[in-house]
Amino acid sequence: MNFSTQLFTFVFFLIFIAVYFSAHAFLKNRSSNVKYEYIIIIASSLIFYGFAAFRGVLFISVYSVIVFVMGKITEKIKKSGKTKLGKYIFTLFIVSLASVLFTYKYLPFSIEILKKYKNIDTVIKFDIIPIGISFITFSAISYLVDIYKYEENTGSFLETFTFITFFPKVISGPIVKWRDFHKNLATRKPTVDLFFMGMNRFIIGYAKKILFADYFATVISTIMATGFENIDTRTAWLCTIVYTFEIYFDFSGYSDIAIGISNMLGLEFKENFAFPYTSKSITEFWRRWHISLGSWFRDYIYIPLGGNRKGKIRTLINLGVVFLITGVWHGAGKAYLCWGLMHGFFAIFERIVKDFNWYKKIPDFVKWLFTMFVVNLGWVVFFIEEKDLRHYLGLLFGTNKNSMSDIYASFSYYLDKKLIVFLIIAFIMSILPFMKKVYALKDKVNSDRFIVVKETALLALMIISVIVKYNSSYSPFIYFQY
């Protein structure tokens, strides 16, 4: 099931909210109310996951049970003081979880690579790959690491099951750490203010997806349907720029909806995006883009490797390892590997030169322009198939010249007035912090005087989004594939 479908918005979610808050009100003064709330969330999460992949429900259910058992064993051995045994068992558990991810996501690709060097006839193809397997695995690893390293307790079985399957985050994040989620569960308190804050966030995310991401997706599909042999360099760059905005509005929209739903239930997740297209370096970009993923890598990969505590050379190596894994995490293929290494190269370069005077003297605008060029170029990997990648890069840099015999290949055909308007709006929305006078209105909008105006505007935005959605085609969220 997709957050942007009518089935989710007007059937599943409305029923879930009605049942959840009815149970919350009815059982408010009973000690069992928490238990039933967890059961409602878990049942709803399994139904949500089942719509995406029915056969995956058994997988995620068994997986959650196994992770809980692993957590209990880890906690028991940790408390027993058997340090050496605990370390071995903990390592075995982490390797086991990583092996599940590798088997589903990377084993078929690895076999294909081996075929090129050895005579292997084996063909591996899974009938179903659990949706969101990367996000699920990272949640499970966080659960075990937080128990072993940060001494967070395992929680109850229902709490653990809720953590692994929680439907707002299960397929595409945000990647919430167990120690944060568990504290949220213990202190959560649904309030009217938090509910409306979450509802507003839901509307904004929904509008991002329907009004912008889906429209940009249709533009890209139209260009790609023409065939890369029939477009020129300007059109190739236009397609790349449009995708840069599509992936931002698509993924940040999903995160807004996930965080909004969690707020409505009384949970407060950390931000997953902080205007990444205002970054003046690749390092800053990764502090602003997919923040929960970057935070996960920092806590569970970078710091355990030594972080920046073991000298400059080791720090640079650790950065390289993190970005290498970042590329591999996004997909099995040489293109994703190169994408991760490219970002890693610039992050390492920035770390080396950041204290040099010549680097400090570079104008911020130039740094921002270069950063956006690298980011923009990197997104090509996400929407161009690997077999077409070299030809498309040749188009971008003018080394490939196509014959322009078709009117549909004309740059001016695609860059019509509607696309120009949407690109301008998208650009403004992406760089709001740079517009200090506009961003300063935030506090005024949150004052009592503007509450009615704000809520009316958001209601109108939701109505417009629903009308547009009703008249448009289905477009899944991009990060569903990861």
Torsion angle in degrees (nearest 10) through CA of 25, 28, 29, 35: 130
Whether residue 342 has pLDDT greater than 50: yes
For residues 142 and 178, what is the distance between their CA atoms, to the nearest angstrom? 6
What is residue 140's DSSP assignment?
H
Task: Measure CA of the first residue to CA of the last residue in the chain; give whole Å.
Answer: 16
Position 146 scores a pLDDT of 95
Whether 154 contacts 68, CB under 8 Å = yes
For the segment 419-437, the average pLDDT, to the nearest whole number, is 82
| Identified catalytic residue from 182, 330, 343, 391 | 330
Tokens 């370390």 correspond to 87
Candidates 145, 140, 128, 212; CA nearest to 169 is: 140
From residue 315, give the alpha-carbon distance in Å to each of 168, 220, 304, 328.
Answer: 35, 39, 12, 20
Whether residue 374 has pLDDT greater than 70: yes
Position 403 scores a pLDDT of 57
From residue 318, give the alpha-carbon distance in Å to each of 102, 307, 337, 338, 349.
Answer: 22, 7, 16, 17, 13
pLDDT band at 340 (very low <50, low <70, confident <90, very high): very high
Position 54 scores a pLDDT of 76
Of the listed ranges 119-123, 183-187, 314-318, the one predicted with least confidence: 119-123
**pLDDT tens per residue across span 107-159:** 777 776 666 666 666 655 655 677 889 999 999 999 999 999 888 899 999 99
Which of 34-43, 120-129, 351-360 holds the top average pLDDT? 351-360
Of the listed ranges 136-150, 330-344, 365-379, the one predicted with least confidence: 330-344
- More confidently predicted of 360 and 130: 360
Of the listed ranges 156-170, 276-290, 385-399, the one predicted with least confidence: 385-399
**pLDDT tens per residue across span 217-275:** 999 998 888 887 788 888 999 999 999 999 999 999 999 999 999 999 999 899 999 99
For residues 480 and 382, what is the distance between their CA atoms, to the nearest angstrom? 13
For the segment 445-469, the average pLDDT, to the nearest whole number, is 81
Q: What is the mean pLDDT of the chain?
A: 87
pLDDT band at 407 (very low <50, low <70, confident <90, very high): very low
pLDDT band at 18 (very low <50, low <70, confident <90, very high): very high
Is 343 in the active site?
Answer: no
